[in-house]
Structure 1
């Protein structure tokens, strides 16, 4: 029995902890223990960055919205571009004067129920060395040319008459080397039409002239209805 107790004491003594060794292990373990976990700061830094980014983005978005609003408000052209297209404005009124060149158009009162004449009066305030006058008589039914004349010399102009189906076109062109003197000059076109009173609302003319100084002028117009017509 005594022998057993002695053997147990020897075994316990052999397994008794070595104080110095334990202290050494504790010191070694502390040297390997990481300091404060710096990763704990990371959840704080991420929201800060994110919020800063969101703030910058919000500022840019707000700024962009302000710019877009300003552009839309202060730039009528831009606003009009996105708005439904407005109906086109009425046609510009005839330009019956351009520099020294003036014009007037009217339906001659000496007409009847089957025939009409339309007159164009050109007033030249300077000599012209180029002139083209085109007259368009709308096809209102039965319209056909019966001739044309002018107060200027016939040999100074080339006259062409073309039936385009929708209109009858008369065109005078001043020949090269010829000159139109200053003054008032009349050009007239004559045509048959369907029986009855004919409206000239679809008729028009245009004249392009160049002065001897090289200045180009253009006049356009329509025809006034005949006043005091006689048959």
Structure 2
């Protein structure tokens, strides 16, 4: 993906303060995009924006708050000319045995992983349509497989895959829709799991097999670099060692 062909284009990335989001911001910025970094942790966004330099906009925004996203969209329109790419990456992975003890975790996953992506898409949709842009949703292999302890997380990721496929059909040919389903990726997500036993098991498993956030960012960049008539609609990317 050449920098010249992307000059004047802007990519909006949610969950950009760490992990896949930050790696995607670096990759797309290096490819010539201006990038709008959206996340709750403004200090991390400011540090990443300083690292990337000109063509970067750090916007404190919680994807569960529509007003935050509306303000971000206004800034992107005014300062970057509008979004050519939206990467819905914000997400949490709060695994654990199903039961009332983790009710708040379930609410958070649904609100961030699924409703957050839906709201961000709705808010930026007009900008994407105007520019024949790309919508990239980061789902998970948990949206294609199932195992004990993943029930609500998997529900959000299965939902995101269904959302993506429906929008692909509804928005064509104006917006190209891609859903990417990573397996184990070396990010901070396992450390956020609140169930101690599940957290320890997941961290140990990830330490053995994970790919890097940069590996997934390269897939995002590849998808949006396809010729206008080509849709890379669904990509599953696992570590070679990962079974499920």
> Normalising to structure 2: TM-score of the pair?
0.23
Q: Which has the higher contact order (CA 8 A, sep 6+)?
A: 1
Question: Which protein is richer in strand relative to its size?
Answer: 1
Point out the structure with max Rg over C-alpha. Answer: 1
Question: Which protein is richer in helix relative to its size?
Answer: 2
